[in-house]
Structure formats: structure tokens, C-alpha cells
Amino acid sequence: MDGAAGKPYLAVNGDVLATTSTIPPRVRKPGDPLDLTPFKLPVEWPAMRTMPRLIYGTAWKKGETEELTYKAIRAGFRGVDTALQPQHYDELAVGRGIQATLEGGLHPEGGLWVQTKYSPPAGQGGQCPYDGTQNQRHQVQESAAISMVDLGMLDCLLLHSACPTLSQTMEAWMEMAGQIGHGVRSLGVCNFTFDQFASFYHECVNLNRLSFQRMRPAFASPFNKTDIFSNNHQCTVPMVFQGPVAAVNGYATLLRAFCRKHGVIFQGYWVLSANTQLRKRGPVTTLADRAQVDPAVALYALFLGSDPNMAILDGTKDEKHMEQDIKGLEKVAAWSVANLAEWDSLVERFEGRLAEHAGNEQGAERSWSVEIMESLLSRQQSIPGTDMLDTRAWQDHLLASWYGAPDNM
């Protein structure tokens, strides 16, 4: 679909339930101030809510989850991230926190963005909240049903991690797609490698194309695609990608470029916790001084400014930090309008630092090569017997054979 105007996004028995609209990709242009406008997904549901650029993360809050969720919304957060994964999150308490704000008379204009995750049994650490011995269809359905009870309407349901093979990932995804229109409004994934995500994304696009042509053939491998059509499930493309942003993964530069290209919103976590060095010097501290904000806020602002397609997960437990982050970002946005040339140069310096720190990690040096990577993947997919590409070694080998050793690129 790729955001094409008016194309059906989901059709059940021929009734179009939601449509895509043309949303121009958010790419930074010199002279752009910090823009905190929430994302409007290219999917139109009645009363579709928008996704803010700063989302409250509810992991590891344990017994304080309800209270902290309440406080975060009261402080101005307009999006909440959770998961049905008891070892790290308390989804029911998040729902109670949201409910408490509504009962307290807080009805945020534009609503509240609420997202959760289907976490496969392998990631449940022995505390699976649904019956993990059942088949995947049952697991996804039960997990989504519990989340619906915990949270009400789900603006986005994310697949917490890729399954061992692309076929298994697609099976889980098709079940999640079956939840759309039944309380779930959009879908996303977390923690895929670049290779996993690119293979998966293109598989979704291909299936979508086929389904809109109303083809109902019995396909051979890699999995039973007939099933998709007999259940009237359409394969949807992901709207959201959630993953870490740290030096060790090249600040997800390549993944973020892929997301920008395909209109998938990138949600970053570890932005503060894994980037202490970035926070302590250079453009971050300069911006903090100039705009009179905390360096944590300056770091958030520079990521959001340099990548307008990105949202950030903020999991602070400190009420002061909650307010400081929300108000501080607004302060930087206003400062950037009044000091455009300086803001521009800080964003450029920040991007330079990311490239420098990313070094030879997957990312900065190859940020220009999304097209090449995609073409590599499509070649590899055509090799019989292979399911997906997920080794760096294989990419390096191919890139080296095409373009010389990676270090010379």
C-alpha cells in the first residue's frame, strides 16, 4: 500500500473498513524547527487517535504501574506502551491507571494512544499469561482478548519479537491481522533485525497486493496462504516498528532509514539509558544550555529533530522528570523556531556525532544503502530452501563481492 491515496487497508467480505490516505513521509529538511505534532497513521478508523512523539513506557514499574501511568498522563503524556508480558509489564494495572485518569475527569483532547504487544511464549520467562501450549492462532487470539479486557480499544498491537523463521512470524502476523476491526486498529513489530524486518515487510506488501487482486489460489510453501483468504483476513503492513537506539546497533540508522522510506513510524527505546556519553557532551549539552533544558530533554529533542519519523519511549518513574520531559520538549520546540539557524547547526552536529559513534556498526556507514540491502534480500529470497536472511556475515559477503570490502564503502 505504501500510503497510496484511498487504497483499501482492510476489507472484510468486500466491505472496506479502513482506508489509507496520503501522508507525506516525515523527512528533516534544513530550516525545519522541532515539530512535536503527533503522528496521524495512514489508516482511517472512526475516531482514530494520533500517536504522540513521546510515549510513556510502562515496563519494570511493578506495583507502581497504576500510579505511575496515572501520573504520566496527568503530566501530559498522550501515549502509553505496555505488553501482555507479566515478567516485565503489568498490563492490567496500566488499564487501571488509564481508567483512573478518565474517572478523575481527565479526557485528553485527541484521546490517548494505547499500544500493547503479543509476546510469544519464548519471551514470557515461564510466566505465560495465556495458554502457550496451544497453537499460534489460539495464542494470539487469547493474548489479544486479554489485552482488550485490560485496556479496552488497542490503537496498536505489536508483535514483541520475530519468530525463529519468517513463516512462523507470518503466521503470528496473520492472526494479529485477524484482530483488526475487532478492537485492534493497527499493527506493528518490535526488535526485528534489519534483515528480518525488510524480508517481513516485503512479504506483507506482496500478500497485500495479492489479496487486493482477490486471488484465491492454493499456494505452496512457505506457509499456507490459502488460510489467510478463507478466513477473510487481509495481510496488513506494519505501521510501527519499535526497537533500541544505541551505539551498539548503530543508533538503528539503517532500520530508521527503512522505516522512513516505507512510512513506518519508528519508536525508539534505550534512548537515554544506553546513550550516556551522547548526553554528556557536544551538541546535547550545548542545546541544554542554550534552550535551558535538562540534557535528557536535549537528547530527546535532537533525536526527534533529526528524525521526524521517530517517536521515543520514555519510562521515567520520577514525576519531576515526567513534567520536565513534556514541558522541556515544548520549550525546545519554541526555542528552535526562534533560533532556527542555531538549531539547524546543532541537529547537523548531532547527526555527525551519531555517524561517528556508529563507526562500523550496521547503520551510519550504510545509511545510504537501504535500496541495496533490499535488493540483496530479494536476491536471497529467491535462493531455494532459504527462508530468511539474518546473518551479517552473509550480507558482508555479498556486499564485499559487489562493492569491495565493507570497510572501503
Ligand X SMILES: NC(=O)c1ccc[n+]([C@@H]2O[C@H](COP(=O)([O-])OP(=O)(O)OC[C@H]3O[C@@H](n4cnc5c(N)ncnc54)[C@H](OP(=O)(O)O)[C@@H]3O)[C@@H](O)[C@H]2O)c1
Q: Which C-beta is closer to ligand X: that of 65 or that of 367? A: 65
Question: Considering the complex, what minimum distance in angstroms separates the CB of residue 301 from ligand X?
Answer: 12
* The binder of ligand X chosen from 269, 303, 335, 350 (CB under 6 A): 269
Residue 318 interacting with ligand X (CB under 6 A): yes
Question: Considering the complex, what minimum distance in angstroms separates the CB of residue 115 from ligand X?
Answer: 9
* The binder of ligand X chosen from 124, 234, 316, 362 (CB under 6 A): 316
Residues paired with residue 116 on neighbouring β-strands, in sequence order:
157
Residue 190 interacting with ligand X (CB under 6 A): yes
* The binder of ligand X chosen from 78, 185, 260, 321 (CB under 6 A): 321
Determine the size of the site formed for ligand X (CB under 6 A).
23
* The binder of ligand X chosen from 12, 17, 59, 355 (CB under 6 A): 59
Runs of H (alpha helix) within 104-252: 136-151, 166-177, 194-212, 226-230
Q: Which C-beta is closer to ligand X: that of 210 or that of 247? A: 247
Q: Is 178 helix (H, G, I), strand (E, B) or coil?
A: coil
Q: Which C-beta is closer to ligand X: that of 85 or that of 208? A: 85
Amino acid identity of residue 293, one-letter, is V
Residues paired with residue 311 on neighbouring β-strands, in sequence order:
267
* The binder of ligand X chosen from 72, 296, 304, 399 (CB under 6 A): 296
First to last CA, the chain: 33
Q: Annotate 213-277 with DSSP letters as a single string.
A: TT------TTS-THHHHHTTPPPPPPSEEEEE-SGGGGGGHHHHHHHHHHTPEEEEESTTTT-HH
Q: Which of residues 237-256 bind ligand X (CB under 6 A)?
A: 242
Q: Which of residues 327-386 bind ligand X (CB under 6 A)?
A: none
Residues paired with residue 15 on neighbouring β-strands, in sequence order:
12
55, 311 Cβ separation under 8 angstroms: yes
DSSP 32: -
Question: Considering the complex, what minimum distance in angstroms separates the CB of residue 171 from ligand X?
Answer: 20
Q: Which of residues 123-182 bind ligand X (CB under 6 A)?
A: none
Q: Residues of 331-370 as b/e, b for ≥16 C-beta within 10 angstroms?
A: bbbebbeebeeebbebbebbbebbbebbeebbbbbbbebb
Q: Which C-beta is closer to ligand X: that of 313 or that of 370? A: 313
Question: Considering the complex, what minimum distance in angstroms separates the CB of residue 143 from ligand X?
Answer: 15
Residues paired with residue 266 on neighbouring β-strands, in sequence order:
241, 310
Crossing angle of the two packed helices 283-291 and 340-358, in degrees rounded to 10: 150
Whether the bond into 222 is cis, omega within 30 of 0: yes
* Dihedral sign of CA atoms 94, 99, 101, 104 in order: negative
Q: Which of residues 270-289 bind ligand X (CB under 6 A)?
A: 270-273
Q: Which C-beta is closer to ligand X: that of 20 or that of 161? A: 161
Q: Which C-beta is closer to ligand X: that of 94 or that of 364? A: 94
Q: Which C-beta is closer to ligand X: that of 18 or that of 98? A: 98
Amino acid identity of residue 103, one-letter, is E
Single out the segment in contact with ligand X by CB under 6 A; choices: 198-206, 285-293, 317-325, 390-398.
317-325
Residue 71 interacting with ligand X (CB under 6 A): no
355, 306 Cβ separation under 8 angstroms: no
Single out the segment in contact with ligand X by CB under 6 A; choices: 32-40, 224-232, 251-259, 313-321.
313-321
Q: Which of residues 79-98 bind ligand X (CB under 6 A)?
A: 81
Q: Which C-beta is closer to ligand X: that of 22 or that of 273? A: 273
Task: Enumerate binding residues for ligand X (CB under 6 A).
Answer: 57-59, 81, 190-191, 242, 269-273, 294, 296, 313-318, 321, 324-325
